[in-house]
Amino acid sequence: MEAAAVSSKIRVLIADDHRLFAETLEALLATEDRVEVVGSARDGKEAVRLARTLRPDVILMDISMPIMDGFEATRRIRQQHEDACVLMLTGSNSRSDVDLARKAGAAGYVTKDRIAAELIEAIVEVVNR
């Protein structure tokens, strides 16, 4: 019974270059029984590599990162894995960022000021689509 509960958890990869923010996200997600954080990337290139090796159910992708931004990382991840669910995270509410996220193949978009209130439900929603 317990093994089945573990396997049904939503596997999440966090991609954010701000260590404190990524740790805060991980702590927030650790309070949710339906979610398991399987990895953390500090830049877009690492996110693409970890998405390929870890095969998470959801990737929480910051837009602005060094080496490769979140838009390009999302495009590459979606090219490699059509079924990958990427939720873009940003401090911006810019319409152009939302449009770029959709064009890159993101399944959703959550602003960092709304993460505590909306993130877990957004994760569950994109997995259940």
Domain holding 84, by residue range, is: 2-127
Report pLDDT for 7.
Answer: 57
Report pLDDT for 5.
Answer: 44
Q: Which residue has the higher pLDDT, 4 or 8?
A: 8
Gap between the Cα atoms of 35 and 115, Å rounded: 15
**How many structural domains is the chain composed of?**
1
Contact (CB, 8 A) for 44 and 65: yes
* pLDDT 10s digits, 29-38: 999 899 999 9
Gap between the Cα atoms of 40 and 31, Å rounded: 17
Specify the residue for token string 């960092």.
112
* pLDDT 10s digits, 46-67: 999 999 999 999 999 999 999 9
Report pLDDT for 6.
Answer: 45
Q: Residue 107: phi, psi to the nearest 5?
A: -85, -20
Gap between the Cα atoms of 45 and 6, Å rounded: 29
CATH of the domain at 69: 3.40.50.2300
- 59: β partners: 13, 86
Q: Which 8-state DSSP code applies to residue 94?
A: -
Residue 115's pLDDT band (boundaries 50, 70, 90)?
confident
pTM over 0.75: yes
Q: Does 109 score more than 90 pLDDT?
A: no
Contact (CB, 8 A) for 101 and 71: yes
Contact (CB, 8 A) for 25 and 57: no
User: Three-state SS string across 14-72, please?
Assistant: EECCCHHHHHHHHHHHHCCCCEEEEEEECCHHHHHHHHHHHCCCEEEEECCCCCCCHHH
* pLDDT 10s digits, 66-106: 999 999 999 999 999 888 899 998 877 788 888 888 999 99
